[in-house]
Structure 1
Amino acid sequence: MAIPPPPGPDQPPYPSYQGHPQNTPQSHPSPYINPYPTPQTPYAPWPQGYSPYNNPTPVNGVAIASLVLGILCFLPALGLILGIIALAQIRKKGERGKGMAVTGAVLSTVGLALWTLLLATGGLTAAWDGFKDAANDSDSAFSLVKGDCFDAPDGSLEGIAYDVDTVPCSRTHDGEVFASFKLPAGSYPGDDRVTDIADDRCYALEDSYAMDAWAVPDDVDVYYLTPTRQSWRAGDHEVTCVFGSVDANGSLTGSLRKDETTLDPDQLAYLKAAHVLNAAMDTAPDEEYVEDDLPGHRKWAQRVTAALDEQARLLTEHRFAPAHAPSVAALVRDLRNARVEWAKAAQAADADTFYDHYDAGDKLLDVNRTITARKALGLATSPPSYEQGGSGDEGNDGSGGGNGDGDGAGDGDTGIEV
């Protein structure tokens, strides 16, 4: 038996034939098996080649789009369709993104079901309306709405303000919002024009919020928050009408709101009827003396006559509670008697005749003759101190006397620019 020589310095510790038959003796097969095979290459093979920059399998782009639409719940029907298309493309091309496509399709299906439910129940319309309201509210410098009470900077309702603090109306406050309106779009009309519009419109809107003018304290007048040239450029075109104290150190306590939200049906019917006459009284001619404009005063008397007819009709058609009916009926009799005198004044041939019938009708419309009905209805019973002349069973819109002369408690040319 041949014994292999010991390994030399240049020989491996074990003989290795490694499957090379030309080096293996045919007559003496080696009994030795090498337990340590010699690798054929110096490095382990790289599974995908030796290049570290080998391109991986791409992700399907349609699957990504489906997932994004599903998460955002935007165009859910499109997201579902894209998810189905992505799955087909992935199977055909061997691309990645199956999980994205499935997730996008599922989320889009849920979104589609929610959209269908919102459309069926009207929830989408309500949400859109709320969005539009919020957008409209953002056009105003202040987030004040009708019925809000607030404190102004330094307690003043005049000058320029950049912010106000909303407070409960039950506590003391500087102002109470009773109306708001938007100015026409376009270029800024100028400070004087904005003030004139605010003054006219706010006094006209006062009556719809504080329907019982007798309940408005004598020291309360109308103010307004108006846009400035700078805020106009930012989209602020809103005028906010406000009640405030004419006393620089004064304040308000409690709400002045007297409208359909706070009045009972009998009170509301009475005040609506009274406002018909007030509106007619407020159209008196600019000429104070009948001699200076007899035709104008005769036309005014015609308007008052028609208003007295309408007021009596409204009070008669409404079914007042038994406790209120007698005093209201007495008031209706006064209105009808006054109507006769005003009708004669409308036909007067000269100023003296006009005065005769005007005076007779004026006495029948004395504000004190309404106190009994007001007391029965639970309304204010103290006429405002600025009542002048005593004509009309009520004060007009709270800013002028019952004789329609339009003189207010204040000049109204006050307000905060925002």
Structure 2
Amino acid sequence: MPYQPWTQGYSPYATPAPVSGVAIASLVLGLLCCLPGVGLVLGVIALVQIRRTGKRGTAMAVTGTVLSSLGLAVWLLMLASGGLSAFWGGFEEGLNDDGTSLSVAKGECFDTPDGSLEGDTYDVDKVPCAQKHDAEVFAVFKLTGFGSDYPGDRAVTSVADDKCYAKRDGYAMDTWAVPADVDVYYLTPSPDSWDAGDREVTCVFGSTTEGKSLTGTLRNDETVLDDDQLAYLKAAGVLNAALDSAPEDAYVEDDLPGNKAWAKRVADAIGTQRTMLGGHEWPTAAKKPVATIVTNLSAAQKEWAAAARASDADAFYVHFDKGARLIDGRKTVTVRKALGLATTPPAGDADGGDGGTGDGGGSGGGDTGLDV
């Protein structure tokens, strides 16, 4: 019998069918839950493709389809309940949490990680103002007028310093109620956070005594004051602002024109304060002490106006001394007591606030010694 030809028989090492790439993609997306809708669609496509071509990956396609279905259900639930917005907001905050300003608002209090309000910080712990805290926020504002490039530490801190001190009295209107060791601090953008779009400055009160905490809020503005207290403090603030605008030179002799212009501002402010006090209907206990203040203000305005017309430094000093004594802040203690305001003049002010000059009437101009 002739030999039979060799034929190719079954080989146990035959090449297996390829795995569906679509099934792999469906499984990956199902595990990550980042695009559950896409993972679900890919899973269905993979199952149809496997049935038609004989490729492997059925288990992966089924698993990806199930996981994507669960992920899609979770996303729809979060969207319906508003949780998705909160999640995305937290995600964006996490991306931007690289030296940007802290998420604290006006009126809130917080502790810093090391208890210091100096140097760099990236996080704070909000705490109730009623308990001990490192700082209290009294203003938050955006820096404007700068380009996209960081303008430098000096330019940023200069604006922050000016605006924070200017906003201080609007939050703590009764300056007598602010402890002597409390001062203004501020958090500004860093070069890195500036590049990320940060332009926010946070102004806070903090203790100048190392390691000392604050307790209780320092806020006393229209949100907590009654109408009579607010009227008095607004009137006092007009004069204090004028007194605080004194020339930088310590002596009148060094800048007589500047001091005369300052005396004119004070005289005008006294007139405004007198009108504000006289035009308000005060409670019975405060009527007489307010009337006394108004009388002193009338006499003081004449002296400051005369100082503004002085021909030389000696004449300026004569009227300045008389005018300063007439607006001595200690003369306001009685009316403050009647209105329920702080009655202890700020420490370090020889003549108190609310118009007290604090320099003993000897220097003229320069530092008025006000703690406004």
Q: Same fold judged by TM-score > 0.5?
A: yes
Distance 1:201 1:359, change over 3 A: same
Q: State the shift of 1:282 in Å.
A: 1.2
CA contact (8 A) 2:112 2:125 kept: yes
Q: Which TM-score applies when normalising by structure 2?
A: 0.68
Equivalences for 1:208-223 in 2 at 5 Å? 208-223=170-185
Partner residue in 1 for 2:132: 172
Partner residue in 1 for 2:320: 358
Q: Secondary structure at the match of 2:249?
A: coil
- Give the distance between the partners of 2:224 and 2:178, measured in 1 at CA: 15
Does the alignment pair 1:150 with 2:107? no
| Percent of pairs with identical residues | 58
Does the alignment pair 1:183 with 2:166? no
Partner residue in 2 for 1:121: none
2:245 to 265, 283, 287: 283
Does the alignment pair 1:332 with 2:294? yes
- Give the distance between the partners of 2:333 and 2:112, measured in 1 at CA: 36
- Post-superposition Cα deviations, 1:76-102, rounded to whole Å, max 9, x if no partner, equal xxxxxxxxxxxxxxxxxxxxxxxxxxx
Does the alignment pair 1:379 with 2:341? yes
- Give the distance between the partners of 1:325 and 1:386, measured in 2 at CA: 29
Q: State the shift of 1:298 in Å.
A: 1.2
Q: State the shift of 1:389 in Å.
A: 5.8
1:233 to 167, 192, 195: 195
Equivalences for 1:398-417 in 2 at 5 Å? 405=367
RMSD of aligned alpha carbons: 2.5
- Give the distance between the partners of 1:378 and 1:387, measured in 2 at CA: 21
Q: Which TM-score applies when normalising by structure 1?
A: 0.61
Distance 1:221 1:236, change over 3 A: same
1:141 to 101, 109, 114: 101
**Equivalenced residues, count:** 270
Does the alignment pair 1:271 with 2:219? no
Max Rg structure: 1
Give structure 2 stretches of 5+ with no counterpart: 1-88, 359-363
Distance 1:251 1:391, change over 3 A: closer
Q: State the shift of 1:147 in Å.
A: 0.2
Equivalences for 1:114-129 in 2 at 5 Å? none
Distance 1:406 1:323, change over 3 A: closer
Distance 1:394 1:353, change over 3 A: closer
More helix, by proportion: 2
CA contact (8 A) 1:365 1:391 kept: no
CA contact (8 A) 1:149 1:175 kept: yes
Distance 1:375 1:392, change over 3 A: closer
Q: State the shift of 1:276 in Å.
A: 0.6
Give structure 1 stretches of 5+ with no counterpart: 1-130, 397-401, 410-418
CA contact (8 A) 2:293 2:331 kept: yes
- Give the distance between the partners of 2:313 and 2:153, measured in 1 at CA: 43
Distance 1:407 1:160, change over 3 A: farther
Q: Counterpart of 2:297 in structure 1: which amino acid?
A: L
Bigger relative CO (Cα 8 Å, ≥ 6 apart):
1
- Give the distance between the partners of 1:391 and 1:382, measured in 2 at CA: 10
Distance 1:392 1:289, change over 3 A: farther
CA contact (8 A) 1:170 1:255 kept: yes
Q: Secondary structure at the match of 1:323?
A: helix
Q: Counterpart of 1:154 in structure 2: which amino acid?
A: D
- Give the distance between the partners of 2:365 and 2:305, measured in 1 at CA: 17
Detail structure 1 runs of 4+ shifted over 3 Å in the superposition: 388-392, 406-409
